[in-house]
Chain A
């Protein structure tokens, strides 16, 4: 939180979630995510997949249930069904032998490159005593989030990007990894990066049923007020998502028989169209 500014309340975040859905005509809810530490209370109204339903979820599936079904979920170690978020959120130990094994699973040609990437570059949360995270639709979350993640189409991402650039005067600095989308969409931002854009990975497409035209925009929760403010400015000035519309060419070239008939009917002819 910037110095001198009042801390945002849960109600503020809920209101901004409703605004984002309305201004960007979002098909699904933006997701609020809060990292939980030892001793933290589990946020009110969130379900625990293993304890409450006897189920395990991949993190991308939990995201999908939040955004599509408007569910609120708390994911601790025992609720997961995918290895990567367990590793990135520091919920499990990774031993030396695991680096060799897991490092070879990154879809890169030379396994050594994969091990090197996993050891040095793979996103991990710079935090301690983490026990999991809670996620809920931003418009109805019962906690102050650390991060907001929105699944949307490229034209809606454009509005987010324009709002971010409007406020900062800078372009977004991004790295686009085609795998581990749950990790890449959240960890760099939780580690302090303002924004990130991520494409749903193959597993998220196959098992969490992300649509082919969906992209994720993630921001630090503290950035949300200025993003909403930027989007509102763009809407007011005619450059928002709903306000931009395709310009059509009127009095367009037409095939010869159109001109023939229009002339016969005493109407105006124009340039002849040829494919």
Chain B
């Protein structure tokens, strides 16, 4: 496992290798007296964040936060991280809010598949910071990226462990979907997609995906990211192969012949 300094250094390196637009996020579950140095409490500043907004402020504005129950503005992370209790009536009520047509199926889905942290792993708070400047060892590293960068990360995840990494493509609760399978120890690598709320209120872009890796496996992943780069198959190394000496319109061939230059196959509309 990397030290804090090694995580920070690797965070900067990952931004450079993958040409990332925003910082990878370091996330750690914390107790009330374990707020890492430099992590602000939104409620102490008179505001509240949805967890996806806190992720956005970390990765885009390089902020660092400690979020406890009273810092949240969205209910799903409060539920997912078991910061609040739900009674049977609440489960029935919230089970109907899953964008599933049939209410019964919706409730069953909610009970069986809604991302929840395992009871023995639940902690009262979450610390998040840019990986490149975090002051703590993360449980999970979360990377927002475009599909071509995700491809590099998925290739890296497969490189040492010979596995096709898991994905939790929940269309709601993307904050939980991105990190809970890892925090629960079900997988070391995970892919998620920003949900409608994250798009509308945290301003995630249309082309962004979320890749997560456990803190434990991050060093292995970085080694593979470097190896794939060295092999020439990294994000920056892959480039388009162009069709050279392509078919050209008739007048191109006519003019080239006139100028003593080579002619080639004639291009015709509709022949592709």
- Measuring CB to CB, which residues of chain A are less than 8 angstroms from any residue of chain B? 25, 27, 55-58, 61, 64-65, 68-69, 77-78, 80-83, 86, 92-93, 98, 101-102, 105, 207-209, 245-246, 248-252, 254-255, 257-258, 260-262, 264-265, 267-268, 270
Contact = CB atoms under 8 A, between A and B. Distances in A.
A194 to B, nearest CB: 29
Contacts of B50: 252
Interface stretch (B101-109, B162-170, B180-188, B243-251): B243-251
B242 interface: yes
B57 interface: yes
Nearest to B236: A27
Given A56-B244, A57-B244, A68-B240, A80 B261 contact: yes
B255 A102 contact: yes
Contacts of B111: none
A61 B261 CA distance: 18
B73 A25 contact: no
A77 B21 contact: no
| Most chain B CB atoms below 10 A, which of A78, A83, A264 | A83
B1 interface: no
Interface stretch (B89-97, B128-136, B212-220): B89-97
Given A56-B244, A257-B97, A77 B75 contact: no
B203 A248 contact: yes
Interface in B214-272: 239-240, 242-246, 248-249, 251-252, 254-256, 258-259, 261-262, 264
Contacts of B72: 267
A30 to B, nearest CB: 15
Contacts of B21: 25
B141 interface: no
Contacts of B203: 246, 248
A69, A265, A268: most-surrounded residue (chain B CB, <10 A) = A265
A93 B72 CA distance: 71
Contacts of B49: 250
